[in-house]
Structure 1
């Protein structure tokens, strides 16, 4: 009851600042997408694409040296997901969302910034420990490490008066757990576990957040490894960030930790010491912290380095071509849709898929408000004198440069005008199966918030090639059986 009361107070305080509900919702959506047995690629991609800065961070990490061997030159979130896997990207998103939330909520207090830096550094240690192993497990360990300190961060950032009391007790000789219980009635660890439950994080994450007991015999080996990684990373970060500590004393502390955890981490103590001490050295430490700062402060860097539209679309075509035709239809559609979105800087994209012989229905899309609009977007396959029917009757795409031209408006169906009345310009790309039958339609637009771009003949040619490549995923799917969840 005490835990619930304290957390209720925390949640109320955070909700007053306005941004916390968005964090909770995005974390729950991410976890739900990861746990979907049908592999809901589109849902996870949408979580990332809904946040421009997060999109750039995921792409930057997917293209960083530690992941380069798994793909390289990754320009779409869908491709990052394909290369790294649902769990790896999902955990990466959870970790980045957590760090970003506290970064943007940071009060102007040195102690709060210090705690956040220590948390970020602990995540860095965890990533270093796991960078040569399984990506999914490695990112899971990073999330466990960050979440292990969430309870403390919540108090530091949102319960300032209570945090000051805890600090004073610690200065008088109490340890943090004792001081937290005395002031709040619960420990930081208990608060973190309660937060993980409210965010519906997987049981594995919650188990990995707990205290590491080297003598425990009733836990799975994977859980023990997670706990050891989480605890070692947290302890090392505390040593590295400790002020006024002699380098030899710092190394002695790290050596002690390395020997304590080496067996559980299946790593020689000397290797652990070298890796950890390297983070404290100016050259290596600066490199790690520079990556963190770039992820946080220079999220738009990758946008400045972005490929031109033709090259981006060509990269998407190459990714589609690399997929076997029996691969997930939803994955292929998500990859094509995001390629169009990213390549031309559209505000939103929608994928219409033919259902039976009678209708085209919007199955998913990317961009603000698209998910809510999907149920309203459908049209009969029977011919009507509008641009959508003209598009599915064509072999190549159509570019509507001015959707508000009176001549064009008369060719826009009512369902489109009612739902996307802010469209300024758009592209329609017909997708045909082998034999020429139209099976899908890709739509992308610029609205009032996005300046339309000129589409060169080369870019249009690349878009048509993308649509042709997408058509092969429908070859073995009879029209009446096409279904995208």
Structure 2
């Protein structure tokens, strides 16, 4: 009870800084999206797309050499989820959010920057160790490694006076965790575990954060995670240790490799080679490039500079590569994100026709779209508005000036109530094998965007994408018709 009271008081003090509650909420939102029981990609995609810098970093890592064998040329977050899996991408996002938070909150104190860099480096070691194995397990290991350092980082970043007291005790030869407990009443590990609980990280992550004990009676996966986090942390400490000769550095790494190789399931010589290579490459800036990749701020990947037609074409190729029996949810998320990113739209929304003859918004991306979805829908019966014109059409229509009084008269009330800032928008009808329209893909630029048009070539690419979507609806309809 005493420790619980100490942790509550500690949390209250840290929460006085406005950025800390934001991190907590962000991580809880990410975990909720990952734990969606219906495997709805759109929730996690929305979390990533809401942060431009995070989007670029996820795409960059998904296209890095480490993941190339699993996909390559990934241009959308939805495609990354399809290829790499919900857990791998979700844990990747959690790791990036933790790193970014401390990177942007870093005080000018040299010791705080040093602790952050050690944490980043330990994450790089964990990623190197796991890059040829199971993606989910690898990203879990990276998150465990980062979270193992979080307790210490929280003290360094948010409790300056207490950190100074801890440092003074450490300088007298006292162990860091013992010094932390003497000053705060809890250890760094307990603070980190409390963070994991409050951020609703899964039990697997929390178990992997605990210190490795070779004699512990734990499942093999838990012991493996604990060994990865401990080994990565210790290697990072050796790599970042000041005034250490190369021969001493390598000797320490050899000792670590032989201590952990059995539980890690890796040949000790291979462990030494990988770790020593990291040490040698520091001078060549290789490790720092790894770190910079995690810390990069909105530096768009090269394909982000492609023209809209090419980017939409890349999404179309992703759709063509999918079998017709693919679930509609991920397919619509992929198409919606392709259009959003390709044209730089403010938001996209997909309306799907239901048996009753109504079109209801199924998913969408962009600011405040998720909250608006339940209010968006219309009856298929004809009304003299632009949405009914679109579902009666065989190709998309583009409304250049939605603010024109004549056009305002053609916008239905349900739309104007929920989306009142559209400057211009496109409506793409989706038909299933010459049937009537079964869905409608909407994308817009808001008033915050400069006026622009959609070119004929861009519209042709959009129409091709809409036609490709019809294949998935046709298969879903056929399966429904043959169902007992």
TM surpasses 0.5: yes
Q: Can you list the C-alpha shifts for 1:299-337, whole angstroms capped at 9, x where unaligned?
A: 223268522111111111111111111111100000000
Question: Is the 1:33–1:43 Cα contact (8 Å) retained in structure 2?
Answer: yes
**Most deviating of 28-37 and 180-189:** 28-37
| Distance in 2 of aligned mates of 1:292 and 1:384 | 56
Say which SS state the counterpart of residue 73 (structure 1) adopts: coil
Say which SS state the counterpart of residue 477 (structure 1) adopts: helix
**TM-score, normalised via structure 2 length:** 0.96
**Deviation, structure 1 residue 3:** 3.5
Question: Is the 2:281–2:287 Cα contact (8 Å) retained in structure 1?
Answer: no
Say which SS state the counterpart of residue 379 (structure 1) adopts: strand
Residues 37-76 of structure 1: pairs in structure 2 closer than 5 A: 37-76=37-76
Question: Is the 2:124–2:290 Cα contact (8 Å) retained in structure 1?
Answer: no
| Distance in 1 of aligned mates of 2:178 and 2:432 | 67
| Distance in 2 of aligned mates of 1:302 and 1:208 | 32
* 1:170 counterpart = 2:170: yes
Q: 1:479 to 1:428 in 2, by over 3 A?
A: farther
What corresponds to 1:6 in structure 2?
6
What corresponds to 2:91 in structure 1?
91
Question: Is the 2:339–2:345 Cα contact (8 Å) retained in structure 1?
Answer: yes
| Distance in 2 of aligned mates of 1:403 and 1:15 | 44
Gaps of 5+ in 2: none
| Distance in 1 of aligned mates of 2:44 and 2:70 | 20
| Distance in 2 of aligned mates of 1:379 and 1:115 | 55
Question: Is the 1:151–1:195 Cα contact (8 Å) retained in structure 2?
Answer: yes
Q: 1:74 to 1:304 in 2, by over 3 A?
A: closer
Q: 1:320 to 1:3 in 2, by over 3 A?
A: farther
**Most deviating of 292-301 and 94-103:** 292-301
What corresponds to 2:458 in structure 1?
459
What corresponds to 1:267 in structure 2?
266
| Distance in 1 of aligned mates of 2:404 and 2:353 | 29
Q: 1:130 to 1:283 in 2, by over 3 A?
A: same
**Deviation, structure 1 residue 255:** 1.1
Question: Is the 1:337–1:442 Cα contact (8 Å) retained in structure 2?
Answer: yes
What corresponds to 1:336 in structure 2?
335
**Deviation, structure 1 residue 248:** 1.2
| Distance in 2 of aligned mates of 1:158 and 1:427 | 48
**Deviation, structure 1 residue 375:** 1.5
| Distance in 1 of aligned mates of 2:364 and 2:13 | 35
What corresponds to 2:240 in structure 1?
241
- For the aligned residue pairs, the C-alpha RMSD in angstroms reads 1.8
Q: 1:268 to 1:59 in 2, by over 3 A?
A: same
* 1:80 counterpart = 2:73: no
The aligned length equals: 481
Query: After TM superposition, which residue ranges in structure 1, 4 or more long, deviate above 6 angstroms?
Result: 479-482
| Distance in 2 of aligned mates of 1:378 and 1:479 | 25
**Most deviating of 349-358 and 89-98:** 349-358
Say which SS state the counterpart of residue 382 (structure 2) adopts: coil
**TM-score, normalised via structure 1 length:** 0.96
**Deviation, structure 1 residue 21:** 2.6
What corresponds to 1:256 in structure 2?
255
Residues 40-439 of structure 1: pairs in structure 2 closer than 5 A: 40-216=40-216, 218-282=217-281, 286-302=285-301, 305-439=304-438
